[in-house]
Amino acid sequence: MTTVTVTVTLTGSLEPDVPEHYINTGTTTHVAIEVMDVASTQAMSNGKTLTIGINTEHKTSLALKSRMITPNGKATSGSVIGLTQLLNKGAAITLERILSN
């Protein structure tokens, strides 16, 4: 049997005021973190799953983007920090973080 797809689930602490976004644990206030799948532009809120194709070399790529949002306004200056986990059953995942401007 050959594996041709992998299903991953994103989990993390939710922003109480906007539960589809992740909580900011930095020093700025009134800011949440939005995570999206680049390919589908689907919001990746807590518990969302994505199924991704695997190539013949048994590799795949998952492009996510994030941004800080202020759902109710009144954001203050400071740091923005968030943590999410990428879960997969049955296969090892190696994450490579690529930063771009």
- Ranked by mean pLDDT, the top range of 25-29, 49-53, 58-62 is 25-29
Distances (CA, A) of 98 to 13, 14, 25, 34, 63: 23, 24, 22, 18, 9
Q: How many domains are contained in the chain?
A: 1
CATH of the domain at 50: 2.60.40.1090
More confident residue, 28 or 95: 28
Task: At 59, list the tokens.
Answer: 């590799």
67 within domain boundaries: yes
Q: Is the pLDDT of residue 5 over 50?
A: yes
CA distance 55 to 53: 7
Does residue 90 belong to any structural domain of this protein? no
Note whether residue 100 is domain-resident: no
Distance (Å) of CA 81 to CA 34, 43, 73, 92: 12, 18, 18, 26
- pLDDT tens digits, residue range 18-47? 888 999 999 999 999 999 988 888 888 888
Q: Which residue range(s) make up the domain with 41?
A: 5-80
Looking at the domain assignment, is residue 73 inside a domain? yes
- Residue 74 placed within a domain: yes
